[in-house]
Amino acid sequence: MRPVIMPIYGTRPEAIKMAPIVKALEESELFDSTVVVTGQHREMLDQVNELFGIEPDVDLKIMRPNQSLSGIMTRTIDGLDELFKQEKPAAVIVQGDTTTSTAGAIAAFYHGIPVVHAEAGLRSFDIFSPFPEEANRKMTSQVTSLHLAPTSVSKKNLLTENIAEKDIVVTGNSVIDALLTTVEKEVPFSDPQLEELAASGRRVLLVTTHRRENQGGAMEGVGRALKRIAEAEPEMTIVLPAHKNPVVREAVLPSLEGLDNVVVTEPLAYGEFTRMLSLAHVVLTDSGGVQEEAPSLGKPVLVMRENTERPEAVSAGTVVLIGTDENRIVDEVHRLLHDEGHYSSMANAVNPYGDGRAAERTVAAIAELLGCGQRVDEFNQ
Ligand code: UD1
Ligand code: UDP
C-alpha cells in the first residue's frame, strides 16, 4: 500500500495552484492521493477542477451566501474531523492563506497528521491586511511540518520566525506551473464580446477586485475610478471579470452601467483569463495570484492594496502598489497609458515566483518528509 497524500482546498486560487500538485501526485509512483474540497467557493472552484479534469473524492460543500469567517472555519474543521475519523492520510497538503487552508491545517494537526504547507512564508507584516489572510498563513505555519516556500524571500521570513531550515524547501509557486501549461493553449473566449475585442486589437485594461479589506467604500471608489477611466479613454476597453461575491458586485458594478467600453463578465475559466491576461495592456488588481502571473507575461500591474506579501515583483519593477484612492487609480492608469517610458520600464517579463517545476519539487519534498525519497534542486530566481 502506498502512502495516501490528501490535498485539501476550497477556493479558486487554491484550486489553480493545487491542480499541478494534484496532477504530479497522480503521476507519482510513490503515493496515492485523496482529493478533498471544502467547497468554500462553489462555481469558481468547480470551474477550475473541470478545466484541469480533477474530480474530488470528497466535497464538504460548506459554502453559504455571505458566509462568515467563523462559519467557514467551523464547517471545515467539523467536516474534516469526521473524515479523519474514517481515513487517516500520511500527510495533508494545504495551499496559501484562505480560511479553508488554515482550517484544514488545524484539523489535520489535531489528528496528528503531518501538514505540508504550499506557498508558505508570505508575510505582509500587518495582521489586518490582507484580512484575514496574513493571520491565516501565520497560524498555518505554527502547525506545519513541511513548509514549501515559493521564493528565497518567503524562506527568509520563515527563518526569522525560527522555523527550522531543514523543514523548508524553496519550490517556486505552482501558479507558474499552472500558468505556463494553460496560457500556451490559447483557448477561445466563450463570450463573443471578448473574441471580438481580441480581434479588434484595442488596448485592454484588465481589472479584478475582491479583497475583504477593500469591500464597501474603497470598492465603490474603485467603481467610480473605472467609470472615469472609461470616459477619459474611449480608445481602450476595460474588462472586468466580476467575482461571484455579491458584496463585490454591489459595490463596483453600479458605476459601470451604460459604458460602451466596459465589458463586465462572469468569472472567466482559467484558460480564458490567462489568454485575456496575455492580451491586456495594463492590469489593475487586488488579487494575490494575478500579481504573480502578470509579471511572467510582462504586463505592468497596478495593485490596489496598501501593502503586499509578494514584494518580489515590486522589486523587479513590474508591480506598483497604489492603494484604493480613486484619484490615485485614475492617475496611475493614465500615466501608464500615456507615458511610454514609464510603461516600458514596467513591462518586463520577469519570473520571480517560479519556473514551472514547483509541483515536481513539492512531491519530492513530501517523499523526503515521509522517508521514501529526497528533495530535488530548489527554485533559485
Ligand atoms: C476567499 C478567500 C480569499 C481569496 C479569495 C479568492 C478567505 C477568508 N478568503 O475570499 O483569501 O483571496 O477567496 O477569490 O478564505 N461566492 C459564490 N460563488 C463562488 C464563490 C463565492 O457565490 O464560487 C460568494 C458566496 O456568497 C460567498 C461569498 O462569495 O459567501 C464570499 O466567499 P468567501 O470565500 O467567503 O470570500 P472571498 O472573498 O471569495
Ligand atoms: N482568475 C480566473 N478567472 C477570473 C479571474 C481570475 O481564473 O475571472 C484566476 C487568476 O488567473 C488567478 C486566480 O484566479 O490565478 C486569482 O484568484 P483570486 O483573485 O480570486 O484570489 P487571490 O489570488 O487573490 O487569492
The half-sphere exposure of 32 on its side-chain side, counting CA atoms within 13 A, is 8
Residue 229 amino acid letter: I
Whether 223 and 256 have beta carbons less than 8 Å apart is answered as yes
pLDDT score of 371: 97
Beta strand extents in the chain (DSSP E only): 4-9, 32-33, 36-37, 58-59, 91-95, 115-118, 146-149, 168-170, 203-208, 236-241, 262-265, 282-285, 301-303, 319-321
* DSSP annotation string for 32-94: EE--EE--SSSHHHHHHHHHHT---SEE-----TT--HHHHHHHHHHHHHHHHHH---SEEEE
Per-residue pLDDT of the chain (381 residues; tens, 9 = 90+): 899 999 999 999 999 999 999 999 999 999 999 999 999 999 999 999 999 999 999 999 999 999 999 999 999 999 999 999 999 999 999 999 999 999 999 999 999 999 999 999 999 999 999 999 999 999 999 999 999 999 999 999 999 999 999 999 999 999 999 999 999 998 999 999 999 999 999 999 999 999 999 999 999 999 999 999 999 999 999 999 999 999 999 999 999 999 999 999 999 999 999 999 999 999 999 999 999 999 999 999 999 999 999 999 999 999 999 999 999 999 999 999 999 999 999 999 899 999 999 999 999 999 999 999 999 999 996
Give the active site residues.
97, 119, 133, 210, 212, 243
The Cα 47–Cα 26 span in angstroms is: 20
Predicted local confidence at residue 375, as pLDDT = 96
Residues with CB under 6 A from ligand 2: 12-13, 16, 175, 208, 210, 241, 267-268, 270, 273-274, 287-290, 293
Identify the pLDDT of residue 349: 87
Are 91 and 145 in contact, with CB atoms under 8 Å apart? yes
Q: Which CATH class is domain 4-173+354-369?
A: alpha beta
**pLDDT at residue number 80:** 98
Is 140:301 a contact under the CB 8 Å cutoff?
no
> What's the grid cell of residue 311?
514584494
Separation between Cα atoms, residue 256 and residue 261, nearest integer Å: 10
Query: Which pLDDT does position 1 carry in this prediction?
Result: 86
End-to-end CA distance of the chain: 38
Cα atoms in the 13 Å half-sphere on the side-chain side of 55 = 0
The residue behind cell 501608464 is 336
Identify the pLDDT of residue 177. 98
- Which atom, in ligand 1's list, is nearest to the CA of 98? 15
Cell of 122: 508570505
Distance (Å) from CA 369 to ligand 1 centroid: 32
The per-residue pLDDT for 130 is 96
Ligand 1 pocket by Cβ (under 6 Å) = 11-13, 40-44, 63-67, 69, 72, 97-99, 132-133, 210, 212, 244-246
**Cβ atoms of residues 89 and 4 within 8 Å:** yes
- The Å distance, Cα 311 to ligand 2 centre, comes to 18
User: What homologous superfamily does CATH list for 189-347?
Assistant: Glycogen Phosphorylase B; (3.40.50.2000)
- pTM score, two decimals? 0.98
Quickly count: other Cβ atoms within 10 Å of residue 100's Cβ. Answer: 31
> What is the CB neighbour count within 10 angstroms for residue 20?
25
Residues of the chain with CATH 3.40.50.2000: 4-173+354-369, 189-347
Query: Looking up cell 501526485, which residue turns up?
Result: 25
Q: Which ligand is nearest to the CA of 132?
A: 1
Question: Which residue's CA is the closest to the ligand 2 atom numbered 19?
Answer: 287
Could you give the 3-state DSSP secondary structure of residue 297? coil
Cell digits of residue 246: 455579491
Q: CA–CA separation, 142 vs 24, rounded Å?
A: 26
Counting ligand 2 atoms within 8 A of each CB, the residue from 9, 11, 12, 284 with the most, and so the one to mutate, is 12
Q: Which residues contact 37 (CB under 8 A, 6 or more apart)?
A: 8, 9, 10, 15, 45, 49, 56, 58, 59, 60
Residue whose entry in the numeric block shows the C-alpha cell 472552484: 45
CB atoms within 10 A of CB 155: 22
269-288: b or e for each residue (b if 16 or more CB lie within 10 Å)?
bbbbbbbbbbbbbbbbbbbb
Q: How far is the CA of 1 from the centre of ligand 1 (A)?
A: 37
Q: Are strands 282-285 and 301-303 parallel, antiparallel or unpaired?
A: parallel
CB atoms within 10 A of CB 339: 11
Cβ-proximal residues to 271 (8 Å cutoff; 6+ apart), any chain: 51, 182, 185, 187
Residues sharing a CB contact under 8 Å with residue 283, sequence separation 6 or more, in sequence order: 205, 206, 207, 277, 290, 294, 299, 300, 301, 302
Q: For residue 164, give the C-alpha cell.
A: 527550522
Among 40, 174, 208, 286, the mutation site with the greatest number of ligand 2 atoms within 8 A of its Cβ is 208
Distance 126 CA to ligand 2 centre (A): 22
CA 253 to ligand 1 center in whole angstroms: 18
Predicted pLDDT of residue 16: 98
